[in-house]
Amino acid sequence: MDAALTRHYDAWRAHAIKPADSIVAGGYAVQFSQTNYLAVSEGMGYGMLLAVLFAGHDPQARTLFDGLMAVVRARPAYAVVPYDPNGKYLMDWRLFANGTSAGEGWNAMDGDEDIAMALLMAHKQWGSSGRWNYLQEAKNTIGALKSWNMKPDGTTKGLSTPNVSRTSDYMIGHFRAFQAATGDSFWNTAIDRAYELSNRMQTVYSAGVGLMPDFIVDTHTATPRPSPGMMGDFNMNEDKYWWNACRNPWRYASDYLLSGDTRWKTITARMIDFFQAEAAKVGGDVTAIGTGYTLSGTQLTGGDSGAYHGPICAGACIDAKYQPFLDSLWNWNAAHPTTGYYDGEIQLLSMVVASGNWWSPTVSASAPVQQPPATEPAAPVNPANVLANGDFSNGLTGWNNWGNSQVVGSALQVGTAAGGVGQDVYAKLTAGTRYQLTASANITAAAEGVFVGIKLMNSAGAILVEQQQLVSSLTPAGVSITFTAPQGATSGYAFVWKNANSAIAVVDNISLQAIA
């Protein structure tokens, strides 16, 4: 497996890496697919990850890495700077062939995420006493990502439109490394929010299939949904499993394999189950897997691509039950290496994961950190429930009735009209402490469902935390939301809400506890 990887890396390096002395002496770039452009920040991030990963094979890996980094810093996201001075630590997302700006000074979140992760890995690999202080540069970029590309509730923006989120920006292992490097628990909030959005896309909009769209819109509401098009990459395929979301099995599996966080095994398994079934239709032939799907599972385009087959290969590593499928995927990728932009980098990085060569600067693969499943409460630091009367044994005492709500048989019921309840909690929370909101919920007829969540605001009314989970099950299902209490919350509540529909919502045993 290592031999296959090093052959692939050598061929990729010879094809993709170009001198960029026109930008900075000793600079390098990862050549974009359209030669009228030199590079995009996404490709620079891929190249930096590959350089540090293959340092044991390539004696010039650090020289390559430093040359790529020099170009990254020489071409900052200058349009961001007037709005956020940290923009100087983000990269202009695209460069013309002559090295000048072709991205109008804006950044692409995914490129900067990989750049920050690669810098943390470089610090672990080589230390930070050379040409670049890798650790400090990583922290600079991480801070800029937080201030420019993230919403306070942990939702990624990644675009000029703040309420549009790209699912392939959910780089969970990167977020975990960012938290470890900076000590900022915000990145745990980002992981929780990414899970919430991913789970909603799969269970509400791809039920029984498990695919994800390229983009999600309306992330500022209680009902985020797949993009209708022309709001993310500005094409009409943003609601499909397309050329962004195809990376998701690789991104999510690469975290689960090191962290053991079973939420990401669940999200990945839904996708892998679907693709394994696609191959099974023709006797297990992985070339039956196409390069574009609706969320209902309809294949839109055929053909084989390393950008699809590589991530699915990495994703299939999450469980031994996929072993024959995984072997077929590995064999196809090993026999069809590509050096073309996007396919080549994604395929090679996915094979690094599948071969056991992926690592984190903060987590050892030999000693995974086990995280609780999303539906099981973590061990509380203080078992006391912050909420009063969370089991509704005293009717609605302690709860504000927002309409159409009553207690029946010691459980909250919200009728067919819109309504719900809320309980003020902001004064009971300790800033910087991590909390988990849990509950049992179901609805009595097929409908949109019931929302259980938390919302916290500052004195100006700005939202600091806003998370909710939609339950559409006809039988009691667990709710689990984790968040970190922010500084400056002056109002806010835990809540239950149901929009008007044909169902009655039943909610019980709501608990809000501090967790380890």
Catalytic position from the list 58, 66, 92, 110: 110
Catalytic position from the list 42, 169, 261, 466: 42
Tell me which amino acid residue 273 is: D
Tell which residue, 428, 429, 449, has the closest CA to residue 507: 449
Name the β-bridge partners of 30.
Answer: 17
233: left (phi over 0), alpha (psi -120 to 50) or beta: alpha
Strands (DSSP E) contained in 388-490 are: 400-401, 405-408, 411-414, 419-424, 434-443, 450-457, 463-471, 477-484
φ/ψ (deg, to 5) at 133: -85, 90
Tell me which amino acid residue 347 is: Q
List C-alpha distances in Å: 422 to 182, 193, 375, 386, 496: 34, 21, 22, 13, 6
* Distance in angstroms (rounded) separating the CA atoms of residues 440 and 454: 15
| Radius of gyration (C-alpha) of the chain in whole angstroms | 23
* Distance in angstroms (rounded) separating the CA atoms of residues 167 and 268: 13
Could you tell me the two tokens for 483?
Answer: 């968040």
In the numeric block, the tokens 């309980």 are attached to 423
In DSSP notation, 248-301 reads: HHHHHHHHHHHH-BHHHHHHHHHHHHHHHHHHHTTTT-GGG--S-B-TT--B--
Say whether 508 is catalytic: no
Q: How many other CB atoms sit within 10 Å of the CB of residue 287?
A: 14
Say whether 184 is catalytic: no
Q: Which residues are catalytic?
A: 42, 110
